[in-house]
Structure 1
Amino acid sequence: MSGIVLSASVRQNLLSLQSTADLLATTQSRLSTGKSVNSALDNPTNFFTAQSLDNRASDINNLLDGIANGVQVLQAANTGITSLQKLIDSAKSIANQALQTTVGYSSKSNVSTTISGATASDLRGTTSYTSADALSNVLYSGATGGVTAAASGTTLGGISGSDTGSVINAATTAAKLLNGAAAGDANAGVVAGDTLTVNGKTITFAAGDQPTTTPTGLTQVATSAGVTTGNVYTDTSGNVTVYLGSTTKASIGDVLTAVDLASGVQSNVAGTLTLNAGQTASTVTGGGALKLQSTTGSDLSVTGKADILKALGLTAATGAGNVTVSATRTTSSTTLSSFISSGSTLNVDGHVITFKDGPTPAAASLASTQGVSGNVVTDGNGNSTVYLQSSTIADVLKAVDFATGVQTFTLNGSGGGTLATASGQTNSSINASGQLKISTGVNADLSITGTGNALSALGLAGNTGTATAFTAARTSGTGGINGKTLTFTSFNSGTAVNVTFGDGTNGTVKTLDQLNTQLQANNLSATIDANGLLTITATNDYASSTLGSTAAGGAIGGTLTTALTFSTASTPVADNVAQTARANLVNQYNNILQQIDSTSQDSSFNGVNLLNGDQLKLVFDETGKSSLNITGVTYNSKGLGLAALTGGVDFIDNAATNKVLTNLNTASSTLRSEASALGSNLTIVQVRQDFNKNLINVLQTGSSNLTLADTNVEAANSQALSTRQSIAVSALSLANQSQQSVLQLLR
């Protein structure tokens, strides 16, 4: 070919055509591959940079499958945890059902004691009272001057007085007749039907001689020479009948006898006129005047027609109308300065003390329901009668003590009895100042009201003497166990109890609710019944435990145990029906644990189980430097801290059941914590998965940016080169025309 000689124009056109062909080939290659750099010859820098980016994108893309599998492993573990949580909830339901089932014992361990008078609102028991002393106004004796204080032996009655009437006639004697006709007989003008009233008792003058048969309800007073004629009859109330007589006529002596019987100076004892102790009989003086005597227990009051009393020398009044004459008692150093009127009463704490004029009855004369002590007759129930003729202040105080219960008098059925001072009490007395020192007793606060003048005479009517009541309160103490302590050592890991009983303030315990608040922390509770029986019982949580045992604790002590006797702690009594029901729940619970074991083993994906101790390692970059290690857990029943239960031990009482519930709650919290950790790891993995996908796109885009051709440009280049090639061919043809001319010549 070297021997061929081309013209310059041809050669130039040929070279141009060859260049265009080369450019066109390059353009067509770029259009076909879509790349502007197809080899290192095209652009070594871009080619190898793009290749590096593509290689990294490929490596990262290869990691996406492992990451996707890791996501599924985490999803499988999360699904397992969700199922385990549901099984734990089912186990909780079984445990809660056990709590709601009757406790496995028909009776729980307890100790008890009876507190007298204790109630739920006040456990301290019957309120104790101490007798207080109540002081009256000063009582004075009847000594001249009225300033001498009365004493215990000061008598309530006075010195009998007299009313000396005028002399009926100089020859009048007790034996003279009231209406006789003989010389020297007095004629008082008394006729049948006339009456005299003496201290409220009636003397009736009747016609005729003494009856041959004693009238019903009356008793004859036997004849007593120079005193009575036998014409006098009395009833049991002190009313008198005097028969004027025709054969044996009544005399002035009969009138005096009748007055003494009515006033109480004398008594008719089995038909015999008897002078009562300490009294003075009415008489006719040596001058012929009547001397009527009052008793020491009452002033004398005689009411009758004025003409009768005038004839007896007792009044100056005349006429048929009634008049009253009286003889008053006098005082002395041995008597009170103020006398108590017969018939007056004192009401002491609901019991009645009656003051009566008359001698103190003999024991033998009393009914079986009465008894006499000193000058006081009592019914043994606090009601008494004080007889004024012989009684003293000591008798009044004794009667008051009978009413308040400070002293007792136990009747013997024969009018006597046994006098005693109640335990812990002090008899009422009168102090050196003459004040009654009345013991209130402990049965009730002292309350004394009265009728007549008893309140004022005894200094109980206040400073003004007008008060209608005398009162004083007992000294009120507190309940029987006030200030006592009750202790229990720690019972089943509870808080030891140290209870002090009091008014409910400053940490003391008064009510049952307050006691239960104290006992609750030591797993104990208290009840009290209507009889004051306080019972301390183990709660349902520890129904299987025995109070005071070595295993459970709860030993009782404190000063309360020395004041009261507690029963020996009882042992729990099993309830077979309830325990069978709880044993069935144990079986159900154990079945749940088996399901927990199988579920944890089945929570795997592609051979990896994060709930069975496996580990998962995920690599996120091509160098292996960016990775995530997820350590698995063993979440079978043992791994969750759950053990199979034993019938007769677990669920046996609420404490055992609550322990199971505590373990279940812990397991539930563990699952939630692990679910949270898995969720966090899953989020990380998913973020890295998305990151790698986006990074691959970035790398591939970068690679493409370095090597891809612009098809629009290359298409335009191709079109231009094609045109250029056509022109080059035409130019080459023109360049060859001279040689064609030579060829023509040669032809």
Structure 2
Amino acid sequence: MSGIVLSASVRQNLLSLQSTADLLATTQNRLSTGKSVNSALDNPTNFFTAQSLDNRASDINNLLDGIANGVQVLQAANTGLTSLQKLIDSAKSIANQALQTTVGYSSKSSVSTTIAGATAADLRGTTSFASAVANSNVLYSGAAGGVTAATSGATLGGISGSDTGTVINAATTAAKLLNGAAAGDANAGVAAGDTLTVNGKTVTFAAGDVPTTIPTGLTQVAASAGVTTGNVFTDTSGNVTVYLGSTTKASIGDVLTAVDLASGTQSNVAGTLTLNAGQTASTVTGGGALKLQSTTGSDLSVTGKADILKALGLTSATGAGNVTATAARTTSSTTVSSLVSSGSTLNVDGHVITFKDAPTPSAASLGATQGVSGNVVTDGNGNSTVYLQNGTISDVLKAIDFATGVQTFTLNGSGSGTLATASGQTASSINTSGQLKISTGVNADLSITGTGNALSVFGLAGNTGTASAFTAARTSGVGGIAGKTLTFTSFNGGTAVNVTFGDGTNGTVKTLDQLNSQLQANNLAATIDANGQLTITASNDYASSTIGSTAAGGAIGGTLTSALTFTTASTPVQDVVAQSARANLVSQYNNILNQIDTTSVDSSFNGVNLLNGDQLKLVFDETGKSSLNITGVTYNSKGLGLAALSVGVDFIDNAATNRVLTNLNSASSTLRSEASALGSNLSVVQIRQDFNKNLINVLQTGSSNLTLADTNVEAANSQALSTRQSIAVSALSLANTSQQSVLQLLR
């Protein structure tokens, strides 16, 4: 072949044809493979980069199967959790049936005690009390300085005071006329209808002579030598009428008698003018002046026209207006230092003691419902009147004792009666310091209020003398529970109880509802019957427990147990029918637990069970650096904290049932929590699964971008190269023909 000689044109055409054939072969290869880079010779950089991308995509693609299996493992576990939750709900239903069945005991543990007189509205009952002693502030006698302690004999009234007016006439005597013109007459100018007011009573001057018949409502005051001329009448209310007279004129003595009758210095006793004991009658002095006397029980107050009182020498004022002349009592060593005002009262435990300026009435003068003891008139029901003209501290203490019931006065219907100190009581007294030692009695706590100045006089107005009441409590005795405390230690985990019985305020307990409100937190309840028997019973939840037992607690204590005795706690008695029903529910419950165990074992996929303690590891990238470890749980009955129940132990009462429900609720919460965790993990796995799929597509797309051929371009190239090849063949043919022509010439 070396002997063949080619012309330049032929050689050139052959080379061109060869080059076109190579390009055409390359183009056809690209069109057939679809790639522009088929080997490292085509484009080393793109080839090896694309190969790396394809390899990574292949590696990740190989992981997708494992991820898909992991998803199914999680789905299987989630299915198991759903089934377990339904089984737990079924177990709850069984426990709730136990709660709705009859209490498993025909009688529950209880303790009881009887409180005399107790009711549901007031548990305190009838309390027996002992009398206590309450001391007043110190009472002083009326001695100078007022510092001598008073005694029981100190009088409540003072020393009678007097008001001596100016001399009317040196020759005036009680017998001189009131309106006369002769020497010694008063010439008082008193007219019919004029009045004087004496200590609230009215002295009326009337025209005419003393009537021959006694006016309605009036009682004639008979004459008493040297005191009255008999022109004076008094009514039963103490109001007085002085008849001025036409034949027998009214005298100055009649005025003195009228003032004494109105003030209480003298009395009309069965038509006889009588000087009351311890009093001093009003008189005319040797100098001719009127000397008006107060009683020992009240200061004297005489009010009338100024002209009348001036004519009587009792004032220097003149005119038709009223003026007042007074005569004040005084104190002494035999009286209290502060004198009681007439009309003052003491209210002792709802009974009224009235202080009155009058002589103590005789027994014979009293009605059948009244009686007199000393200087005290009582109605036998605790209400009394103390008469100030002769009354003493001793009389006040007696009146207080009548009110409190410490002393009694049994009336006999004739004004007299029998005085006695109640059994077990001590009469009130006054000690050497001058303090009233008042016995409260047992009927009520002592409460003394007053009007007028009685409280302060007897030292009952407190240290400052301004207190409005004097109080003292009795001593509570056995039988009542006011102020007593009842305690229970914690019963079956409840809140220990400290109950103080009282009036229902400040945390104290009075009613049954209030007691139950406090017992409820300690799993106890109370009832009371018509006989006052208070029974404390275990609640339905703890019907199987014995109050005060070592296992349950609820031991009784407190000050109440010193006053009342509780029975020994009774033992609960089982209800056979109810317990049989509850035992059947125990069996049903245990069957549910067996299903929980088998369900947890069956919740596997491809040999992996996340509910039976297995672990799942998922790898998400080709390097193994991105992975997820899911630790399984053991969710059989024990793993969920559920234990098989025992007949006679579980479901026997509501508390036992509630404990099972508590465990079931805890198991349900555990399942929900695990379901949430599995759901979260499943979401992560599915997200990574989708990510890997997308990443494979990205890698493969990137690889294709580096190696794939553009079919449009390559097709055009193929067409062009075919044309080029055809032209090259033609050219070669022409070149060869040219050479043949030269050879033809040589022939």
Q: Is the 8 A contact 1:151 1:432 kept in 2?
A: yes
Deviation at 1:517, TM superposition (A): 5.1
Deviation at 1:85, TM superposition (A): 1.5
Q: Is the 8 A contact 2:173 2:184 kept in 1?
A: no
* 367-376 or 78-87, larger mean C-alpha shift: 367-376
Q: Is the 8 A contact 1:618 1:627 kept in 2?
A: yes
Q: 1:642 to 1:417 in 2, by over 3 A?
A: farther
Deviation at 1:582, TM superposition (A): 2.5
Q: Per-residue displacement from partner, 1:50-74 (whole Å, max 9, x unpaired)?
A: 2232222122212211211110110
Distance in 2, Cα, partners of 1:619 & 1:490: 57
Q: Per-residue displacement from partner, 1:62-118 (whole Å, max 9, x unpaired)?
A: 221121111011011112112212222232233233334332223322222233455
2:625 counterpart SS class: coil
Deviation at 1:209, TM superposition (A): 40
1:113 counterpart SS class: strand
2:335 counterpart SS class: coil
Q: 1:732 to 1:556 in 2, by over 3 A?
A: same
Q: 1:107 to 1:691 in 2, by over 3 A?
A: same
Q: Is the 8 A contact 2:358 2:389 kept in 1?
A: yes
Q: 1:626 to 1:469 in 2, by over 3 A?
A: closer
Q: 1:740 to 1:473 in 2, by over 3 A?
A: closer
Q: Which runs of 5+ in 2 are unaligned?
A: none
* 523-532 or 430-439, larger mean C-alpha shift: 430-439
* 250-259 or 734-743, larger mean C-alpha shift: 250-259
Q: Is the 8 A contact 2:171 2:183 kept in 1?
A: no
Deviation at 1:606, TM superposition (A): 2.6
Q: Is the 8 A contact 2:445 2:473 kept in 1?
A: yes
* 726-735 or 160-169, larger mean C-alpha shift: 160-169
Q: Per-residue displacement from partner, 1:522-543 (whole Å, max 9, x unpaired)?
A: 3333444555443333222322
Q: Is the 8 A contact 2:368 2:415 kept in 1?
A: yes
Q: Is the 8 A contact 1:614 1:633 kept in 2?
A: yes
Q: 1:628 to 1:459 in 2, by over 3 A?
A: closer
2:151 counterpart SS class: coil
Distance in 2, Cα, partners of 1:293 & 1:248: 26
* 444-453 or 320-329, larger mean C-alpha shift: 320-329
Q: Is the 8 A contact 1:124 1:478 kept in 2?
A: no
Q: Per-residue displacement from partner, 1:324-350 (whole Å, max 9, x unpaired)?
A: 999999999999999999999999999
Q: 1:110 to 1:419 in 2, by over 3 A?
A: farther
Distance in 2, Cα, partners of 1:321 & 1:371: 45
Distance in 2, Cα, partners of 1:321 & 1:700: 135
* 321-330 or 582-591, larger mean C-alpha shift: 321-330
* 1:643 and 2:643 correspond: yes
Structure 1 length-normalised TM: 0.60
Q: Calculate percent identity across the aligned residue pairs.
A: 91
Q: 1:383 to 1:584 in 2, by over 3 A?
A: same
Aligned residue in 2 for 1:29: 29
* 150-159 or 256-265, larger mean C-alpha shift: 256-265
Q: Is the 8 A contact 1:641 1:663 kept in 2?
A: yes
Q: 1:295 to 1:725 in 2, by over 3 A?
A: closer
Q: Per-residue displacement from partner, 1:208-231 (whole Å, max 9, x unpaired)?
A: 999999999999999999999999
Q: Per-residue displacement from partner, 1:565-588 (whole Å, max 9, x unpaired)?
A: 122112112223332333333233
Q: Is the 8 A contact 1:292 1:327 kept in 2?
A: yes
* 369-378 or 116-125, larger mean C-alpha shift: 369-378
Distance in 2, Cα, partners of 1:344 & 1:671: 85
1:222 counterpart SS class: coil
* 21-30 or 514-523, larger mean C-alpha shift: 514-523
Aligned residue in 2 for 1:67: 67
Deviation at 1:641, TM superposition (A): 1.0
Aligned residue in 1 for 2:656: 656
Q: Per-residue displacement from partner, 1:230-289 (whole Å, max 9, x unpaired)?
A: 999999999999999999999999999999999999999999999999999999999999
Number of residue equivalences: 747
* 241-250 or 151-160, larger mean C-alpha shift: 241-250
Aligned residue in 2 for 1:199: 199
- Please tell me whether Structure 1 or Structure 2 has the larger radius of gyration of its CA atoms: 1
Q: Is the 8 A contact 2:489 2:553 kept in 1?
A: yes
Q: Per-residue displacement from partner, 1:686-720 (whole Å, max 9, x unpaired)?
A: 12211211121122112212211121221221122
* 323-332 or 31-40, larger mean C-alpha shift: 323-332
2:145 counterpart SS class: coil
1:166 counterpart SS class: strand
Q: Is the 8 A contact 1:460 1:469 kept in 2?
A: yes
* 698-707 or 96-105, larger mean C-alpha shift: 96-105
Q: Is the 8 A contact 1:124 1:479 kept in 2?
A: no
Distance in 1, Cα, partners of 2:70 & 2:629: 11
Q: Is the 8 A contact 1:139 1:458 kept in 2?
A: yes
Q: 1:319 to 1:547 in 2, by over 3 A?
A: closer
Q: 1:336 to 1:652 in 2, by over 3 A?
A: closer
2:596 counterpart SS class: helix
Deviation at 1:729, TM superposition (A): 1.4
Q: 1:643 to 1:420 in 2, by over 3 A?
A: farther
Q: 1:539 to 1:475 in 2, by over 3 A?
A: closer
Distance in 1, Cα, partners of 2:251 & 2:612: 137
Deviation at 1:634, TM superposition (A): 1.6
1:9 counterpart SS class: helix
Deviation at 1:493, TM superposition (A): 3.4
Q: Per-residue displacement from partner, 1:435-458 (whole Å, max 9, x unpaired)?
A: 999867443689999999999999
Distance in 2, Cα, partners of 1:445 & 1:509: 20
* 88-97 or 284-293, larger mean C-alpha shift: 284-293
Distance in 2, Cα, partners of 1:738 & 1:285: 202
Q: 1:547 to 1:37 in 2, by over 3 A?
A: same
Distance in 2, Cα, partners of 1:437 & 1:62: 109
1:681 counterpart SS class: helix
* 260-269 or 31-40, larger mean C-alpha shift: 260-269
Distance in 1, Cα, partners of 2:19 & 2:145: 173
* 24-33 or 175-184, larger mean C-alpha shift: 175-184
Q: Which runs of 5+ in 1 are unaligned?
A: none
Q: Is the 8 A contact 2:524 2:537 kept in 1?
A: yes
Distance in 1, Cα, partners of 2:199 & 2:345: 18
Distance in 2, Cα, partners of 1:685 & 1:7: 74
Q: 1:458 to 1:630 in 2, by over 3 A?
A: closer
**Which residues in structure 2 correspond to 1:27-426 (within 5 Å)?**
27-118=27-118, 123-126=123-126, 405-407=405-407, 421-426=421-426
Distance in 2, Cα, partners of 1:653 & 1:216: 89
Q: Per-residue displacement from partner, 1:132-180 (whole Å, max 9, x unpaired)?
A: 8999999999999999999999999999999999999999999999999
Q: 1:734 to 1:502 in 2, by over 3 A?
A: same
Query: Pairwise CA RMSD of aligned residues?
Result: 10.1
Q: Per-residue displacement from partner, 1:10-61 (whole Å, max 9, x unpaired)?
A: 2221221121111111111111111112223323333333223222212221
Q: 1:138 to 1:573 in 2, by over 3 A?
A: closer
Q: Is the 8 A contact 1:401 1:427 kept in 2?
A: yes
Q: Per-residue displacement from partner, 1:488-516 (whole Å, max 9, x unpaired)?
A: 33322344444445566776555555544
Q: 1:379 to 1:9 in 2, by over 3 A?
A: closer
Q: Per-residue displacement from partner, 1:639-662 (whole Å, max 9, x unpaired)?
A: 111112122211112221121122
Q: 1:720 to 1:421 in 2, by over 3 A?
A: same
Q: Is the 8 A contact 2:127 2:481 kept in 1?
A: no
Distance in 2, Cα, partners of 1:192 & 1:53: 147
Q: 1:19 to 1:556 in 2, by over 3 A?
A: same
Distance in 2, Cα, partners of 1:702 & 1:133: 111
1:165 counterpart SS class: strand
